[in-house]
Chain A
């Protein structure tokens, strides 16, 4: 492959998730073959996104408006805030049509290995929001991992004194999960979180 520009483009694309050096080169080739229909519109869209997309100062979501769509939409439930680790988790939860409350993106989990301490997470902002009279429930939707739950417990400690109900997502069987294929940890948490069934 010749040309510093092509090499540079391939190197940058290879940094994206799901792309390695070879697949990045295939993507570059496709872009160059469809210069007018793909490459220029993509470059334009990237520039516009770089200029227009910002972190919401309230919840940490990525959006073109400030505050973001979730924080400014008056139709959303102001009394509940769902706390997630990352914007990707927010997008996943947004697919759940039963939840129409607001969100708060922590920006990661406590992790000594990655050098993420409490100061690197948006916990102070969450505590400020929880102190608001309109907020009644904080839903902790961090991962069911040691780091995710350690972060959740830390957030709970920080919310001490706030007049809110704190809940967390249930841990257990996934929909469509067959017991035989589940790991011991998932089965254990599912068993611990079993619920009574009403008899007819």
Chain B
């Protein structure tokens, strides 16, 4: 068995003296693992950093085997953000969430495309944190748990939507949600369908992460015995800290 595909590195773990077990996200073969011979060595280690884009060839005698990868780097993304705690935190959180949320060897070309777009946003968009929250919303939608943030679940109105039902994932207007405000999740302005281009502050971004984190945790991870990865929790902590101090 053999195939070649583009890939984004999710994680690499040393195996034996010099090999590494690499987990990547590919457009055609989904999340896939394989052994990289020499992957823990000096020449290859830098290529196997989370977020780097590779051209990978997977080989295995049988389809169900771990198999081995040969890799060639196409874009060194990780090194761009080593000095930027926020962007690096978003990258590690995204890689960890994908690794935890996606089943192995199930093709998700949309998730791959969205991940590439997120990497571009981390590179170029000053509002990278907004892009991250929207990426998690898109991931939820790709996995079949899309949120309906355009209409009030109770009244059908499209304005003054400030809550989200933690059960249905649908928006709730201020009036309809008032009696249940303690049980509802906050819907930050920048996630509403009619959101303008005003950059969200750190508090709104944290609210966005709490919202997506709830659905990732309850609908995607916990049914399989998983939890939100520590890297994702640290990203929320960082944004929460920013909300009480200055910028991101």
Contacts and interface: CB of A to CB of B under 8 A. Distances in A.
B92 A157 contact: no
Given A110-B230, A185-B79, A145 B73 contact: no
Contacts of B79: 171, 184-186, 188-189
Nearest to A20: B17
A112 interface: yes
Interface residues of B, number: 30
Interface string B151-174: 000000000000000000000000
A80 B35 CA distance: 41
A153 B229 contact: no
B73 A146 contact: no
A185 B77 CA distance: 7
Contacts of B238: 157
Given A146-B50, A146-B51, A185 B89 contact: no
B104 to A, nearest CB: 15
Say what secondary structure dominates the interface of chain B: helix
A188 B79 CA distance: 7
Contact of A183 (B46, B82, B230): B46
Contacts, number: 63
Contact of B78 (A17, A146, A153, A156): A146
B182 interface: no
Interface residues of A, number: 25
A117 interface: yes
Interface string A101-120: 00000000010111001000
A86 to B, nearest CB: 13
Given A110-B230, A112-B229, A171-B82, 16 more contacts: A112-B230, A112-B231, A113-B13, A114-B13, A117-B230, A146-B78, A150-B231, A156-B85, A157-B85, A157-B238, A183-B73, A183-B76, A184-B73, A185-B79, A186-B46, A192-B83
> What 5 A-B pairs come out closest when comparing CB atoms?
A185-B79, A185-B76, A153-B85, A184-B76, A149-B82
9 contacts: A110-B230, A112-B96, A146-B51, A146-B82, A157-B241, A171-B79, A183-B73, A184-B79, A192-B83
